[in-house]
Structure 1
């Protein structure tokens, strides 16, 4: 049995020191500069938001701003890449649908005029 008051013997090595905590794992108490909320999020590119919203109303504006937003996001690292891509997809789809509707409209109008059903002034 060993006596806890007996000094450490030279033939038994001391226990290894406790490892230091990992960087950032333990907050430093009392400094007053800690932030306990959610981490700060990056800024969302404004043109990406404009691209998504405007693509529903004016598809060409949505396409243009979407391409500009993707270029800016690549340079600055901002958030909003998904918004810009969604604006591009919606803008292109609605532009193609609009072109198809215009072609069909003019075809119907041309057929009606050539058949004599429509009077022109």
Structure 2
């Protein structure tokens, strides 16, 4: 008895009388998966993984070439958008800094505030004389423009030496209101 040898068959075609061997599904390339993931996480690395993934899918006959291509293009788009955003942010920041530097300067706490108004003795003496009918009025010190501040002026009324207490009772900007009382 002679044994019959099946005719030569290629691996793509099953041997007659036998069912084709089940083939394991081709696996998806890891770099292709990483390319799509890193496109959203860290785009420059997504570009690298996309290039490597595209190359490996061809060399290893693996699935995932489309994933690698999508990851590559998404990464490129996100990198370009990131660069555009960075440039626009820098231009905006420079513009704002320029506008702030052109604003008028306001006095800070370290700079001196405007001094409170003061009535000088040579201005105060004529007022005291006019309001009290005193003569030869002299005021030794200025009257500061602060509520309740006072000074004493002296003069003569009907030939008698008299003292007058001048007290601030109103301050409005540079205007000072005061009362004059004859001291006993």
**Could you tell me the TM-score, scaled by structure 1's length?**
0.64
Match of 2:71 in 1: 87
Kindly provide the CA deviation profile for residues 23-50 of structure 1, in whole angstroms up to 9, marking residues without a partner as x: 5497648xxx965xxx421111101000
Larger Rg: 2
Task: State how far apart, in whole Å, the 2-side matches of 1:52 and 1:72 are.
Answer: 15
* Structure 1 runs, 4 residues or longer, greater than 6 Å off: none
Q: Give the Å deviation of 1:65.
A: 0.6
CA distance in 2, matches of 1:53, 1:117: 44
- For residue 102 of structure 1, the aligned residue among 86, 94, 99 is 86
**Which of 1 and 2 has higher RCO (CA within 8 Å, sep 6+)?**
1
Please list every run of 5 or more consecutive structure 1 residues that lacks an aligned counterpart in the other structure.
Answer: 1-22
Greater share of residues in strand: 2
| 1:11 alignment counterpart | none
Higher helix share: 1
CA distance in 2, matches of 1:48, 1:75: 13
Question: Structure 2 stretches of 5 or more lacking a match?
Answer: 1-12, 103-184
